[in-house]
Structure 1
């Protein structure tokens, strides 16, 4: 018998809010976290704006020891440790410094580029013949699994502790990997999520590709415009999201709060064939991924109440909507409600999937659909496919029974999960 899997804890460090309660309020209020960065202007970036969580020194000291903070330059690790630790505590789980490992709990926490600022410092020191000044944390800050290693040590997890990396799909893929481990009885609970560094050395390549908006440097909060006729490229962001997935029996036995149930999902790739490429999804692969996710979850297309899309505020938004209409065989007024978080946070790269998964669960648990920021004028190709009422521009109070969350990543890789409201 396959185990049922539920979400019992969450944490988040997003550009528009840090902390679960703050984030829940921010997305209902449609608060933007996109800001102007003088550093990007000085470096002659075309796009001089981005999304970056605001972390105070006081907050840092609540999660890291003075020794850990010495030389800590990886923003991704900072965001990941904050969100991961918060999720653990939110689930009602204890953090102990001694005793045996928690053999029933594991971690799958992904990233894209981790520790780039530490890498830069290391290169400078090594080239100057000052290798001994690197410090004892340079390795853990720059290895891809540094974030899961940090969290594994803090939480004492003794089950699988690993890191995945699948570009923009990373966080959603991590959730599915953790789900499958619990479903197959290999763990009772898994901390899943993803993080991304911020700054010019992460965002510079995208600026060079000319896929970021350059005309909103003086109006940063208006720059990210998913689904809009004025969409002109994605705004780079950073941060982390984390969720505790748990065997339903375990959650019930310890009296845990249950946010929602994870029914299933699917991951696949378009192989960069046909219309698929390094930067564009193969449309057949996307529709196959959606269809398989529904089949694996035993859900009919008519049962989907809402979709939290990938929707990055590029020309691909209308293509994504077309793929959803084809996979669900639903159009116009029959189409589910759909929204994108990226109008408020920008595109948080490898952290996007996990932050958006947290937002998706919050909508189910608290019975609302957040509005699409900066979508006053819907793209005409999208309006031909679905009714504009399906794209709310402000918060809607609504009970959601089943929600589909999708991430379609760089490299033509896809992930879709299906979440369901758990009866109170």
Structure 2
């Protein structure tokens, strides 16, 4: 079977850095932190009282009132980002040869956490009398964003929701890439959304000691690779990418941002929440993705690292990258945009895919902010972009994601020529 080329023709984004792709990108390359005190709920009694919240979100700009009423916040974020991406791609379903040629693969790690917590609290407050909202179940289901995106735009092809914790965004992109490559679809909206700044999520991740507790200076709390990093900062939002079969995109005169050339998934098979200390699964995942892309490690210009700012996770990823490069660090630059957006969990891979594509398009690498002193375990020759954005011609970018359960997912993007 002849493989189809897969390109990116539209993007949409929503995070603590902005409510569209342009503002996200501008604030990322400016090195702006999205962290601030939590406003979604009263966090006074929590060990962590800050996060990277989406700001000034007005769903009515892109969603109908009925869509807002019947959906959880994670789905609203999804519909919002998907709408921007569809508009950006200039894609109209009635112009497709068949609505079955277009689909949605959309992920979320937590799904409708806001709805679930609200309904259960109200159940308890009502003396455990069952007075549940009739939309309780469909609002919190993890597949509902995928389903409602398809309904909003009339996309009747492939439609489902992968879940692989913090690797979910890349898992969704890899699946979309494969289905188009195999000729099973012409167009797929792919990405992820997360609205996990809730009491349960902040409390739960806090109990795992995964979150930073730098409450006095939240804007500097996410510090990937820094010797004093102490946990990640919770983020939220959504990111959507339109993946399209190359000839289909050309025939309709679509603009093309970049090409997806490789992707892979592996498992650490090691620990419930910790990455493999030697980065074995991550290393093999990168190798598989580059092998599919027909590229060597030395041809990668930029890696958007998973780097969440946890003591163990950052170094296991650095170990994997170091082993991949075999000491040849000259061409590769690395940065961790979670230092600005926080960790969007199941949406992390999607927003970081957009940053990777924009880096290729604009020839600039967004910085890793807040990293004052590199961990001593990081090779001195390794080029980590810190503090300020770095201008560089980028032909190949690789985006790494890793998730609880030992999930690894890597996507490789290439300059479109």
What TM-score results when the alignment is normalised by the length of structure 1? 0.92
Superposition deviation, residue 118 in structure 1: 1.5
| Contact kept in structure 2, 1:338 and 1:391, CA below 8 Å | yes
Tell me the equivalent position of 1:366.
362
Query: Which residue, 85, 105, 129 being the options, matches 1:87?
Result: 85
Are 2:305 and 1:306 equivalent residues in the alignment?
Answer: no
Stretch of structure 1 that moved more, 98-107 or 302-311: 98-107
| Distance change in 2, residues 1:190/1:39 (3 Å) | closer
| Contact kept in structure 1, 2:70 and 2:139, CA below 8 Å | no
Describe the SS at the equivalent of 2:374: coil
Count residues in correspondence. Answer: 411
Are 2:20 and 1:19 equivalent residues in the alignment?
Answer: yes
Q: Which deviations, in whole Å up to 9, do the C-alpha atoms of 1:28-53 show, x marking residues without a partner?
A: 11111111126766451111111111
Describe the SS at the equivalent of 1:61: helix
- Unpaired stretches in structure 2, ≥5 consecutive residues: none
Query: Which residue, 400, 409, 412 being the options, matches 1:415?
Result: 409
* Aligned positions of 1:24-43 closer than 5 A: 24-37=25-38, 42-43=43-44
Describe the SS at the equivalent of 1:352: helix
Q: Which deviations, in whole Å up to 9, do the C-alpha atoms of 1:273-305 show, x marking residues without a partner?
A: xxx443223622111111111111111122111
* Aligned positions of 1:167-246 closer than 5 A: 167-197=165-195, 198-214=197-213, 216-246=214-244
* Partners of 1:114 and 1:368 in 2: CA distance: 33
* Partners of 1:41 and 1:119 in 2: CA distance: 18
* Aligned positions of 1:274-423 closer than 5 A: 276-281=271-276, 283-315=279-311, 316-331=313-328, 333-334=329-330, 336-382=332-378, 385-387=379-381, 389-423=383-417
Query: Which residue, 147, 150, 154 being the options, matches 1:149?
Result: 147
Superposition deviation, residue 113 in structure 1: 1.3
* Partners of 1:124 and 1:231 in 2: CA distance: 34
Tell me the equivalent position of 2:115.
118
* Partners of 1:359 and 1:407 in 2: CA distance: 14
* Partners of 1:309 and 1:38 in 2: CA distance: 28
| Contact kept in structure 1, 2:63 and 2:80, CA below 8 Å | no
Tell me the equivalent position of 1:10.
11
| Contact kept in structure 1, 2:262 and 2:292, CA below 8 Å | yes
TM-align CA RMSD: 2.2
Query: Which residue, 252, 255, 265 being the options, matches 1:254?
Result: 252
Describe the SS at the equivalent of 1:289: helix
What TM-score results when the alignment is normalised by the length of structure 2? 0.93
Tell me the equivalent position of 1:266.
264
Describe the SS at the equivalent of 2:273: coil
Describe the SS at the equivalent of 2:61: coil
Superposition deviation, residue 117 in structure 1: 2.2
| Distance change in 2, residues 1:305/1:177 (3 Å) | same
* Partners of 1:388 and 1:180 in 2: CA distance: 32
| Contact kept in structure 1, 2:16 and 2:235, CA below 8 Å | yes
Are 2:55 and 1:54 equivalent residues in the alignment?
Answer: yes
| Contact kept in structure 2, 1:171 and 1:351, CA below 8 Å | yes
* Partners of 1:357 and 1:377 in 2: CA distance: 27
Superposition deviation, residue 388 in structure 1: 5.7
* Partners of 1:38 and 1:242 in 2: CA distance: 25
| Contact kept in structure 2, 1:16 and 1:34, CA below 8 Å | no
Describe the SS at the equivalent of 1:12: strand
| Distance change in 2, residues 1:256/1:31 (3 Å) | same
| Contact kept in structure 2, 1:213 and 1:235, CA below 8 Å | yes
Superposition deviation, residue 386 in structure 1: 4.1
* Partners of 1:265 and 1:329 in 2: CA distance: 21
* Aligned positions of 1:95-114 closer than 5 A: 102-114=99-111
Are 2:35 and 1:70 equivalent residues in the alignment?
Answer: no
Describe the SS at the equivalent of 2:100: coil
Superposition deviation, residue 330 in structure 1: 3.3
| Contact kept in structure 2, 1:335 and 1:390, CA below 8 Å | no
* Partners of 2:98 and 2:186 in 1: CA distance: 14
